[in-house]
Chains A and B, each alone.
Chain A
Amino acid sequence: MPSPAIHIAPAPHLFGGALTTQRMMFDVLLALVPVLVAALWQFRLYAVIQLAICMVSAVAAEALFTAMRKKPILVRDGSALVTGAILAFSLPAKAPWYAGAVGSFVAIGIGKVIFGGVGQNIFNPAMLGRAFAMIAFPAALGASAYVVPDSPIDGLTHATPLTALKMLGQSTGLLPLFLGATNGSIGETSALACLLGGAYLCLRRTASWEIPAGVIAATAVIGLLVQWFSPVAGWTVLHELCGGALLFGAFFIATDPVSSPLAPRGKFVFGLGVGALVMLIRKLSGYPEGVMFSVLIMNALVPLINRATIPTPVGGPVPAKKAA
């Protein structure tokens, strides 16, 4: 009997293969579906247009920049789509088309490819792109850009809940905040949708639950303190949690694996940092909301967090060899 050809390779010989990078990116897009539904309900066609602009620009930017680096174009892994989607969801509905497009190009080009492509970036690409666009086009993306007084869409005629609170001292009801019947960036309005999508991501462990847990814990604790020491009528820690981009940021932005720490303890610390900075910016700075800056600042601290939270091996560290 002819014996079949056998080949050799080092162990392990089995490979799970159930999870690929592509599958993780697909998971994120899937988890964004509830957010998309909420956005469609609140912003109708604006959401679709913004998403299309950002996702198409992001993929085009990925193709362009990787081609410039003479590297294989890895659009297939879906990471550019995710970056584009997250960026779109973090923009105001009426943001001009060039804001999304420029943001996407910066996100992919300067946020990711310049560092060496997927997996190598220090900062969350979508947030980097958004920060660039926001500073480049302040009038088109600032707090005032959210309000379109003559819009047929009711939500757009009001200031965002956090701006209303900051500038006018007005509180928004908890139920509209929770369901998403308020103004805001396209993906941030509905706390419910973010929780649904986030729960899916955490169950799949595409996102690590330690990060949103840290964000929410820090926000809740500081929110309670604020509520205790300088109360505002009708605004509680729950409003703080459901308002603005906090939950969207906690579940979809801060959980970007590339720019967050590796070990579970580090992830929690990272989350705490994001939550604390958000509250700092909301309460003490001129900005009504601070998820973007918080995430970027914490991204910069990730190498330090990683170094400080190296897990101890089972059985303790490797003992130093005795001098022979």
Chain B
Amino acid sequence: MPNPVQVAIPLLQHTGAPCEPLVKVKDEVTLGQKIGEGKGFITAPVHASVAGAVGMPSVTTLPNGRHVKTIPIKTGPNQLSADELKASLLGGDWPVSGLDAQSPEQIAQTAREAGLVGLGGAAFPTHVKLTRNEKRPVDTLLLNGCECEPYLTSDYRLMIEFPRPIVTGALLAARATGATQLVIAVEDNKPAAVESLRRAAEGTGVEVRVMETRYPMGGERQVIPAALDREVPTGGLPLDVGVVVMNVGTSAALAAAVLRGKTLTHRVVSVTGAGIAQPKNVLAPIGSSYKDLIDFCGGLKPDAARVIAGGPMMGFALNDLNITVTKGTSGITVLTHDDLKAVEETACVRCGRCVDVCPLNLVPTRLALASRYQDWDMARRYHLMACCECGCCAYVCPAAIPLVQLMRMGKAQLPKE
């Protein structure tokens, strides 16, 4: 897409400590220049996604409701065209051998400098995952090519069009973590992606495994058991079972950072849903507004009813389109009135559908009941905090009970033990 007139770079786009600005008002910055740096280990710097002049810092609201300090950059005259940008970030040839020129520490350090975070949505700083921990060795690197939500296809397009940087990034990440087994998990509704990745991975030792297509397969806790037959302990990390999980987009960004010195300035965003005129996957500068992307895709259709940051199951509905695309923005979903069904809640008949569909084997109806009546004993007994809020239970509930909202409320109110 063409560069917007102005981008706004939030200083907190990741899980962890926010950044402090490194630039002043009216400074000229170049594409990819670091403009914010955070203190501590779990943080990631932010970079200019266009070349231009720094404006007055302000505060913006992210889709999750957090207010964050933001550095605006007015786009200057000299910019790479969209095609040039795509070619420089993802195109061309990517080596699959001779990658040992970089030491594991260097790879992790480069990931940090480039501001890499998980592009699947959680935006956890990548260098933290790539740094070796002697106490908890990693034997397997799992690239997650399962889309985290229905409607979203950004990973899918990337796997079809640019499988080579994904594979190269995987090899680099494996070198950083010391993993000896490399697996890419892709859902079985994406045969083209499987085909494309298999071709790119030939002879590299990277194995493509095909998963059942079943939401929420993109979640770590679902994809690890499905692909590797290991179960991550509740409250634990994949690291506890010797696994590092990385989104395929993150992997491609890692390759671009290590081999081409590119910082994380752009990402692929799915602009999708029946309420958008021309749904597309867009390589968008971080800091663009949702409105920029929606306009680029032909705007909203007249029957658009809800604009969602992320996918339809876990995304946040927006009331303002002047909101910023961050590193964690995997998609913008626009639903129509037809998609949204306003159904009146009725009584639970304890049919147990929610128990059947819960990917974590919980009893949502009990958790919702406990949350509604603040019965914290019951909430603990039924493992409230294990809930991942994927929304499967509320999707199937014959009584249309707002199970997820209730459980979310309960999780927020549950007194600490």
Contact = CB atoms under 8 A, between A and B. Distances in A.
Whether chains A and B associate is yes
Interface of A: 1, 3-17, 19-21, 23-24, 74, 77, 79, 117-120, 205-206, 208, 257-258, 260, 262-264, 267, 306-307, 310-321
A119 B416 contact: no
Contact of B352 (A5, A15, A263, A313): A263
Contacts of A206: 351
B236 interface: yes
B352 A119 contact: no
Contact of A314 (B225, B313, B366, B398): B225
30 contacts: A4-B301, A9-B306, A10-B404, A11-B312, A11-B389, A11-B391, A12-B394, A12-B395, A12-B404, A13-B308, A13-B335, A13-B340, A16-B395, A17-B400, A19-B398, A21-B399, A74-B346, A118-B347, A263-B355, A263-B363, A306-B366, A313-B234, A313-B362, A314-B221, A314-B225, A314-B359, A315-B386, A316-B231, A318-B235, A318-B386
B349 A317 contact: no
B299 interface: yes
Given A11-B389, A24-B349, 17 more contacts: A6-B300, A6-B306, A12-B312, A13-B333, A14-B313, A14-B339, A15-B400, A16-B395, A17-B343, A21-B347, A21-B349, A118-B349, A260-B350, A262-B366, A264-B355, A311-B355, A314-B231
Contacts of A7: 305-306, 317
B18 to A, nearest CB: 24
B366 to A, nearest CB: 7
Nearest to B408: A10
B346 to A, nearest CB: 6
B361 A21 contact: no
B398 A23 contact: yes
A21 B301 contact: no
Contacts of A317: 234, 383, 386
B350 A315 contact: no
Interface in B352-387: 352-353, 355-356, 359-363, 365-366, 380-386
B233 interface: yes
Nearest to A119: B347
A57 B180 CA distance: 71
Nearest to B335: A13
Contacts of B135: none
B340 A316 contact: no
A313 to B, nearest CB: 4
Interface in B324-354: 333, 335, 339-341, 343, 346-353
Contact of A6 (B231, B305, B362, B365): B305
Contacts, number: 184
A24 B362 CA distance: 22
Tell me the interface secondary structure of chain B in the complex.
loop
B316 interface: yes
Nearest to A259: B350
Nearest to A74: B346
B77 interface: no
B417 interface: yes
Interface string B225-263: 100000111111000000000000000000000000000
A10 B63 CA distance: 12
B303 interface: yes
B217 to A, nearest CB: 13
Contacts of A307: 381
A318 B385 CA distance: 7
Contact of B235 (A14, A117, A319): A319
A9 B231 CA distance: 33
Query: Which 3 residue pairs across A and B have the least CB separation, nearest first?
Result: A12-B391, A119-B347, A8-B317
| Most A CB within 10 A of own CB, among B347, B362, B385 | B347
A127 B333 CA distance: 49
Contacts of B317: 6-11, 13
B216 to A, nearest CB: 11
A19 B380 CA distance: 29
A310 B394 contact: no
Interface string B395-407: 1101110101100
A66 B316 CA distance: 39
Nearest to B364: A262
A318 B383 contact: yes
B347 A117 contact: yes
